[in-house]
A and B are shown apart, each in its own frame.
Chain A
Amino acid sequence: MLILNCPCCGVSGEETEYHAGGEAHLKRHSIGSTDDQFEEYLFMRENPRGVHLERWRHNNGCGKWFHAARCTQTLEVFGTYSAQTYEPPKEIKDAISAKRPGWTWRTFS
């Protein structure tokens, strides 16, 4: 069971109050992109054992989307942060580094 803190309404709620929205920080390639980029956007997903960045929605609450950084192995949540960002903020990266030194996820580390 995950316990996530919604950064939009401040609720500390358990998993069933939220809905997982898939991988975070995807670039939505569409018109003007190459076939390879479009394929990457449509089909290529990370499936890590360890640190993962995801989108979540507080569907039984304020209804807002946000990002969460967690570990898929231990279900430890490193932190949640705003959906309006292209990469995790420094404090989230630091929080992950403190627990999982040397972590990488796509282009982030």
Chain B
Amino acid sequence: MSNAVSALQGASYVDGIADVTEFGLRGMITLRGDLSDKKLIKAVKSIAGAMPGMRSIALEEDDGAAWMSPDELLLMVPHGDVASTIEGLSKSLAGTHFLAADVSDARAVFEVSGPKARDVMAKLAPVDFANSAFEKGMFRRSRLAQVPAAFWMNEQDAFTVVCFRSVAQYMFDLLSVAAQPGSEVDAF
């Protein structure tokens, strides 16, 4: 079996106003279906601990579920558990109309952390990052410069950014440039 590696194999940039780190492998499953279906809600709760509401994310240690669109969730599990999770979903959702696809290797995950992480994110996305407008538990799909991305807050000053693997290098360069020394905006 081939050795799975993440897009940038844990590259990091630590010299700037915020730290940018590639997260490494993370298991991701796209789950599409009727999000109000009781079976589906139960299955999601058994994985992520809770069912995320509109534009929010439920996290439980390494697992999580994020609200992607009115009929789509992104489930996150450890990379090695993807196959068994999909198998479990297929069993528990049998008979309902749904789709569960392994997208782990189609994605790249970054963390932007540090007191100026909001500055870095706000330079790149057309999203209100004021303390009161973007909080922990929220999940937002938007764009960072020229590529689509989704992000949420892990800690008060740490963002996790998910993008397509094909643009991982672009995303890393982008975040690194936005975090270069002396580029504080101090907007927040």
- Residues on A lying within 8 angstroms of B by beta carbon are 8-11, 13-14, 16-17, 59-64
Contact = CB atoms under 8 A, between A and B. Distances in A.
Chain B contact-residue range equals 10 to 19
A10 B67 CA distance: 12
Interface of B: 54-55, 68-70, 72, 126-127, 140-143, 148
Contacts of B54: 9-10
Secondary structure call for the A interface? loop
A62 B70 contact: yes
A13 B126 CA distance: 7
Contacts, number: 37
Contacts of A10: 54-55
A9 B142 contact: no
A14 B143 CA distance: 11
Given A9-B54, A10-B54, A13-B126, A60 B142 contact: yes
A11 B69 contact: no
Contacts of B140: 11
A60 B125 CA distance: 11
Contacts of A14: 126
B126 A63 contact: no
